[in-house]
Structure 1
Amino acid sequence: MRGIDHVGITVPDIAEAEAFFTGVLGCQKAMSFGPFRDDKGTFMHDLVNVDPRAVIEKITLVRCGHGSNIELFQYTAPDQAKSEPKNSDIGGHHLAFYVDDIQAAKAFFDAHKVKTMMGPVPIEEGPAAGQSILYFFAPWGLQLEAISYPHGMAYEKGAETVLWSTRDPAK
């Protein structure tokens, strides 16, 4: 294994998702393709474990800075759930974006009317000391996080393994 190539996210409206990831978060659209369907067989179930009549209307891949790519899917399916899981739910998730200046990120989100949670919150104790976090949401409810640790985190000082990061270690 060399690393994470992309994270796939199913969204309710691909145009809205493309606009948010490119226009607000600054990702760059690389490509789009689709649709994919199998009206008679079990290809969709056999390939990606969804209802055999599920349709991937469109797939768009975006590149986000120096990190992993994001693959956006717009599906329709007879058994499609419409609720976004909470972080505490099994299968709950969020994407974290490294930012150099978390206060500037908060101001940017506020100016663009992006819903944020409490914060930024600086972590001052324990192995994650040195980071600041701010959770925020895409327009359709996907939970995201801005994170910054420009001087590293406390655990790094004697760790055999440090987490991969997009931060600039020269700062």
Structure 2
Amino acid sequence: MSASTERGIPRIPGVRHADHVGLTVPDLEEAVAFFVKALGAEELYRSTRGPDAEFMPENFAVPKDASLTLAMLRMPPNLNVELFEWDTSDRRTEHPRHSDAGGHHLCFVVDDVDEAVAVLRGIPGVRVLGDRKEVAGDSPRVAGNRWTYFLTPWGLLMEIVDRSRVADPPPLVGPADWLTAAPENTRKDR
């Protein structure tokens, strides 16, 4: 019996893989431009919804006057990002801090953290948080990990990491796993 089952949390049947990450941004055009230009994303489509006094509260847990515009982005090779811009009478504008409930960040693997930080420092509105860090003996399993956090121009916390110097990394999902995780009918090696 798994720990989750022991705590009364049943396994959801049929879960296959993550499809996308959804993030709310204050200005959709600014966020899409950053993801496309700085991170290499491709915009796939846009959509709008609301206001709808019944649908919006029931399906999104937002006020009945809320409306949204969204853009779905593809971040090759493995991530879809859905960006939302909401309009509602009681919209909050402050981001949760990393230490607050609901705090979050999005992390990208890079080839060289120092090169990436140099480029980030040149993007107007980006705030790099401190200098590049390297994990040492406090976390021996990932010693050698090189990383840095930064804030986008609108305040989204992001991280860049280079794991190439980690001697014996934990089994984090990466490119070697993508093909083997694909269902048999979608694999291209057949």
Number of the residue aligned with 1:49: 61
Pair 1:165-2:165 in alignment? no
What does residue range 1-150 of structure 1 map to in structure 2 within 5 Å? 1-38=15-52, 41-56=53-68, 58-113=69-124, 114-125=126-137, 126=139, 127-150=141-164
Q: Which one has a bigger Cα radius of gyration?
A: 2
Q: Please tell me whether the aligned partners of residues 131 and 153 of structure 1 are also in contact (alpha carbons under 8 angstroms).
A: no
Q: Which consecutive unaligned segments of at least 5 residues does structure 1 have?
A: 157-161
Q: Please tell me whether the aligned partners of residues 48 and 67 of structure 2 are also in contact (alpha carbons under 8 angstroms).
A: no
How far apart, CA to CA, are the structure 2 residues paired with 1:52 and 1:68? 31
Q: TM-score, normalised by structure 1?
A: 0.86
How far apart, CA to CA, are the structure 2 residues paired with 1:153 and 1:139? 35
Q: Which consecutive unaligned segments of at least 5 residues does structure 2 have?
A: 1-14, 177-190
How far apart, CA to CA, are the structure 1 residues paired with 2:16 and 2:131? 34
More helix by share: 2
How far apart, CA to CA, are the structure 2 residues paired with 1:109 and 1:92? 22
| 1:63-108 per-position Cα deviation (integer Å, ceiling 9, x unaligned) | 1122321100010112211101110000000100111111110111
Residue 89 of structure 1 aligns to a residue in which SS? coil
Runs of 4+ in structure 1 off by over 6 angstroms are: none
User: What is the count of residue pairs matched by the alignment?
Assistant: 160
Computed over aligned residues only, the root mean square deviation of the Cα atoms, in angstroms, reads 1.9
- Structure with more contact order per residue of length (Cα contacts < 8 Å, sep ≥ 6): 1
Q: Please tell me whether the aligned partners of residues 95 and 143 of structure 1 are also in contact (alpha carbons under 8 angstroms).
A: yes
- By how many angstroms is 1:8 displaced? 0.5
Number of the residue aligned with 2:187: none
- By how many angstroms is 1:42 displaced? 1.6
- By how many angstroms is 1:119 displaced? 2.1
| 1:111-155 per-position Cα deviation (integer Å, ceiling 9, x unaligned) | 224210112101122222121111111111111101110144645
